[in-house]
Amino acid sequence: MYLPPGIKNLSQKEFALKLSSVVFTAALLVIAGCEGAPSGEDANEAVIYAVMPSKIQGFDPGYTSGIYSAQVASEIFECLYQYHYLKRPYKLIPQLAEGMPEVSRDNLTYTIRIKKGIYFADDKCFADGKGRELKASDFVFAWKRIANIKYLSPNWWIFEHKILGLDEFREYTKSCKGQFDVDYSLGIEGLETPDDYTIVIRLKKPWPQIMYLLAFPPTAPIAKEAVDYYGKDIIRHPVGTGPFKLNVWNRGSYIELVKNPNFREEYYPSEGEEGDRENGFLADAGKRLPLVDKISWLIIEEEQPMWLQFLRGKLDASAIPKDSFGNAISPSRELTSDMKERNIRLVKIHDPDTYFIGFNMEDPVLGNNKPLRQAISCGYNRAGETELFWNNAWDVAYGFIPPMFEAYNPKIKEIGQRYDPEKANQLLKQAEKIYGGKLPKLRLTIGATDTQSRQLGQYNKRCLEEIGLEIELEFMDWPIFMEKLNTKSCQIFSVGWMADYPDTETFLQVFYSKNASPGPNHYNYSSKKFDEIYEKAVVMPNSPERTELYRQAEQTVLEDCPAVCALHRVRYILCHDWLGNYKGHVFPYGVWKYRKVDVTKRAAYKELLKKG
Amino acid sequence: MIERKIKKGRSLWQDGLRRLWRRKLVMVCFAVIVLYFLLTGFIYSAELFGWKVGPTQWQESVGKSYEPPGRENIFGTDIFGQSVLRKMLYGTKTSITVALCASLISLLIGVPLGAIAGYFRGFVDEIIVWVYSTLSSIPYILLILAFAVVLHDKSLFGHKLTGITTVYLAIGLTSWVGICRLIRGEVMKHKEREYVLAAKSYGCSNSRIIFKHLLPNVFHLVIIDFSLRFVSFIHAEVILSFLGLGEAERPSWGAMINDARIELSRGVWWQMAAATIAIFLISLALNIFGDALRDSLDPKLRVQ
């Protein structure tokens, strides 16, 4: 999914600007509200206090589009599969499924058996208020619901052109009056349930990435009773099978989840990656999940209050605001002694994302001028950006495949894009020859208007002016920016892309010519060579050959340079020592059930603070 | 025969200026104002002729990122190592341009409308009063924000509106209400005066009466209002830039304060200080000068 520059700090989403005084007051209210909000603290109750850096849209998995909404939904709902909490590289294990799917020889039919004896949480939408057993048809219903065009799900891209008959079902829903007039009992060739515990999925063409999407919160099963009972209000009445239930939702300030007593028996994993035992991540092996009674998310949009709450022990984990970075992290990238004295732990998360400076390949100046695009790539000082803006914490990108992916090229530093002002000058001379004269002023568009984005825009501009280009800056809000991208009316733009699943395909699709705007390929890049490799690789199951193809595809893009790969984000998260089993996870769906708190340690910390 | 020298009377303006001249503080303030205007003019001509001097070279790095104020850089440097002093000086141009253009726009709309409403009364008056009552019932800042958002990146007569143009159009188009109301009331008062009645009985046309007779007699109000409103326009520009709706590419005081907001927590106070000093000086000078101008021009307040 695309990342607005505003979420560059993601979990420390910075100053949301605009009517900033209003926002600021709101933030103050949040802090004031927090004091009383978490309902009566019971000393024996294990409660995690986490932070949510943005308001969320609701708890309907099919309707969620933001990372944060998906995260919260994933604690209440479950999918067929989930990522192993400890193992790296990320590995899928069954969640609601009995085992891994049986795949037919032609890779087109997936037969998945689901676990028996799984019950939805108790809710008044069911006949007697008791949660009923999960059936295979609940999955089919949820997926058809996403296909329902009147439901306006932002997640249709998951299934588009993939499952036999589902696109036709979407066509049919166009003729329905409203989202609740759709007849979900219509059979679909590609989604069948021979019995209550079996799903058979038939695909139009091989789609190995389906496994990752079956672990993606929007594909979670939904009880039709709940949708019928609550109607549009379902966004605030989630009924799932997961370890937690929604207790309180105060849109602007507070989300509280409590343990779901109906949750099936699931246990903490007893295997992890190397070093997990030493780090204590296996101490709870075999314990029944979830490990806490309650999760309480405080919604704090400003990073400074978030940080202060963390230091006061009111939040268990927090990102570090840019301007407090020096207080928490020493120049050697370790915790400062002040933080160590407080028994705070540092967790670094290398996110699977890349920030680009993209070019519109349909622009007459840039599209036909490869040396110009390469010159801009050589002229952009990536290390300077991380130093000035990200406390030197982010990784310089040489290609667009982040290091955690299998297809990451170990030789990318030598063959990828790199800052080289001398080469930029040479290339620029070639570029002028191609253009036939002095290059015109180029326009750089940024999809945010806050301070940091403005400074970042100015930094981009300065870098490119240093190699002798003239740049005009343009700032606009994210929705307007997206619309401009979709209508191909930007020239140069700054944009980030974050992987939705650990398959390099998620990065390659943004360069595929058939995905040109309004699809995700906003560069409108079109290369026969790339398309051929992509089409071949995308239907292949994971293998060394596929990895090789992925690398070739990346190399093709880097050579043509429809975008400058700038940085990969690295998040620094601090957590107090009473928050146990906190291991960084880049697909953080359903992870809070593994985490625990030590209430006595928290109380001791607060005592210590009181004494000063 | 004794020639009696008749002492020639002083006009309102001469009298007013004489009074102003006597007050030294007011003259200092006037000098400050002139200085800001001269600086603006200087920056405009420097940009026009491509002189490479101080403020127009604000983009140049003069040191490391966030250098504190010192001998080399009086106000330190910002994130890119640019001189904050230069940015502050350059911000003068942004602010004065916006305030001046916005004032002119609001006067050009407000004064004629007020005069017409006050002179003709009746139906015309009702329409104009309705329009400005509606405008003034919307909170000022919200209205400016709405205009700024609507005008942002639109074209006007084939000319693309950029940051600063949007800002003064937005301010000018929303803030003519005050002056319009003032002129309307004053014209209503003057309408029944002898000189107007005389002009009428001579058969002067309405437009001649309004523009030749009435307006010159109420124009001192315009000047006073202008000088006091100027300050609020400078503030409005700062607020809009602070909210990210103003000048994005070139320095402005509002943008500097906006930058400083996140820098303050790491102890970088100099950008905030520089912008604040610049705003403070011009606001103070304009306020004192405006008040003095009213004291000396308003006949009712003229006590020796």
Of A211, A242, A273, the last residue of a domain is: A242
Q: Are residues A80 and A214 both part of a single domain? A: yes
For range A123-149, the mean pLDDT: 93
Q: Are residues A238 and A93 both part of a single domain? A: yes
pTM of the entire predicted model = 0.80
ipTM exceeding 0.85?
A: no
* CATH code assigned at A207: 3.90.76.10
Q: What HEC string does A49-65 produce?
A: EEEECCCCCCCCHHHCC
**Mean pLDDT over the full length of chain A:** 88
> Which of B65, B242, B245 lies at the smallest CB-CB distance from A388?
B65
Q: Are residues A368 and A491 both part of a single domain? A: yes
From first to last of its 304 residues, chain B has per-residue pLDDT tens of: 555 666 666 677 777 778 788 888 999 999 999 999 999 999 999 988 888 777 778 888 888 888 889 888 888 898 888 899 999 999 999 899 999 999 999 999 999 999 999 999 999 999 999 999 998 888 877 877 787 778 766 777 666 666 678 788 888 888 899 999 999 999 999 988 899 999 989 988 998 998 888 888 888 888 888 888 889 899 888 888 887 777 767 888 988 888 888 788 778 899 999 999 999 999 999 999 988 888 887 766 655 4
Domain assignment present for residue A66? The answer is no
Inform me whether the C-beta atom of residue B259 falls under 8 Å from chain A C-beta atoms. Answer: yes
Residues of chain A with C-beta less than 8 angstroms from the C-beta of B243: 17-20
For range A480-486, the mean pLDDT: 88
Q: Give the per-residue pLDDT at A30.
A: 41
DSSP annotation of A42 reads -
Q: Are residues A104 and A116 both part of a single domain? A: yes
Q: Are residues A145 and A260 both part of a single domain? A: no
CB contact under 8 A, A474 and B153: yes
Q: Are residues A357 and A476 both part of a single domain? A: yes
Inform me whether the C-beta atom of residue B65 falls under 8 Å from chain A C-beta atoms. Answer: yes
Inform me whether the C-beta atom of residue A476 falls under 8 Å from chain B C-beta atoms. Answer: yes
Q: Are residues A362 and A393 both part of a single domain? A: yes
* Model confidence pLDDT, tens digit, residues A375-396: 999 999 999 999 888 888 899 9
Q: Are residues A444 and A562 both part of a single domain? A: yes
Inform me whether the C-beta atom of residue A6 falls under 8 Å from chain B C-beta atoms. Answer: no
Domains of chain B in sequence order: 18-42+75-297 (1.10.3720.10)
Domain assignment present for residue A62? The answer is no
Distance CA A290, CA A215 (A): 19
Distance CA A288, CA A268 (A): 6
DSSP annotation of A163 reads B
Distance CA B180, CA B177 (A): 5
* CATH code assigned at A328: 3.40.190.10
Q: Are residues A269 and A391 both part of a single domain? A: no
Residues of chain A with C-beta less than 8 angstroms from the C-beta of B59: 462, 465
Q: Give the per-residue pLDDT at A7.
A: 45
* Model confidence pLDDT, tens digit, residues A420-478: 999 999 999 999 999 988 999 999 999 887 778 888 999 999 999 989 899 988 888 88
Nearest CA to A467 out of A442, A434, A494 is that of A442
Query: Residue A203 — φ and ψ, nearest 5°?
Result: -100, 160
Residues of chain B with C-beta less than 8 angstroms from the C-beta of A481: none
CB contact under 8 A, B244 and A476: no
Residues of chain A with C-beta less than 8 angstroms from the C-beta of B153: 474, 476
Interface test with B, best of A460, A475, A481, A484 (most B CBs within 10 A): A475
* CATH code assigned at A408: 3.10.105.10
Nearest CA to A79 out of A242, A258, A266 is that of A242
Give residue A546's pLDDT band: very low, low, confident or very high (50, 70, 90): very high
Q: Give the per-residue pLDDT at A473.
A: 87
Give residue A15's pLDDT band: very low, low, confident or very high (50, 70, 90): very low
Inform me whether the C-beta atom of residue B303 falls under 8 Å from chain A C-beta atoms. Answer: no
Give yes or no for residue A282 having a pLDDT over 60.
Answer: yes
CB contact under 8 A, A451 and B80: no
- Range 377-396 of A in CB contact (< 8 A) with B: 388
Q: Give the per-residue pLDDT at A34.
A: 42
Q: Give the per-residue pLDDT at A33.
A: 40
Give yes or no for residue A247 having a pLDDT over 80.
Answer: yes
Domain assignment present for residue A47? The answer is yes
Distance CA B179, CA A606 (A): 59
Give yes or no for residue A410 having a pLDDT over 70.
Answer: yes
Of A242, A262, A285, the last residue of a domain is: A242
Report the percentage of chain A scoring pLDDT > 90: 69
* Interface contacts A/B by beta carbons within 8 Å: 57
Domain assignment present for residue A68? The answer is no
The domain total for chain A is 3
Q: Give the per-residue pLDDT at A13.
A: 30
Separation of first and last alpha carbons in chain B: 35
Residues 6+ apart with CB under 8 A from B62: B72, B73, B77, B81, B82, B83
Residues 6+ apart with CB under 8 A from A23: A15, A16, A17, A301, A302
Domain assignment present for residue A466? The answer is yes
- Range 388-447 of A in CB contact (< 8 A) with B: 388
- Give the residue numbers spanning the domain of A586: 2-57+245-349+574-611
> Which of B145, B248, B263 lies at the smallest CB-CB distance from A454?
B248
Q: Are residues A113 and A188 both part of a single domain? A: yes
CB contact under 8 A, A14 and B263: no
Separation of first and last alpha carbons in chain A: 45
Q: Give the per-residue pLDDT at B73.
A: 84
Q: Give the per-residue pLDDT at B295.
A: 82
For range A145-166, the mean pLDDT: 92
Alpha-carbon distance A356 to nearest alpha carbon in chain B (angstroms): 21
Q: Are residues A606 and A559 both part of a single domain? A: no
Alpha-carbon distance B245 to nearest alpha carbon in chain A (angstroms): 8
Domain assignment present for residue A146? The answer is yes
Give residue A112's pLDDT band: very low, low, confident or very high (50, 70, 90): very high
Q: Are residues A25 and A100 both part of a single domain? A: no
Report the percentage of chain A scoring pLDDT > 70: 93
Of A242, A271, A301, the last residue of a domain is: A242
Q: Give the per-residue pLDDT at B152.
A: 66
Q: What HEC string does chain B produce?
A: CCCCCCCCCCCHHHHHHHHHHHCHHHHHHHHHHHHHHHHHHHHHHHHHHCCCCHHHHCCCECCCCCCCCCCCCCCCECCCCEEHHHHHHHHHHHHHHHHHHHHHHHHHHHHHHHHHHHHHCHHHHHHHHHHHHHHHHCCHHHHHHHHHHHHCCCEECCEECCHHHHHHHHHHHHCCHHHHHHHHHHHHHHCCCHHHHHHHHHCCCHHHHHHHHHHHHHHHHHHHHHHHHHHHHHHHHHHHHHCCCCCCCCCCHHHHHHHHHHHHHHCCCHHHHHHHHHHHHHHHHHHHHHHHHHHHHCHHHCCC
Domain assignment present for residue A64? The answer is no
For range A38-50, the mean pLDDT: 73
Inform me whether the C-beta atom of residue B77 falls under 8 Å from chain A C-beta atoms. Answer: no
DSSP A204-225: SS--TTHHHHTTSGGG----HH
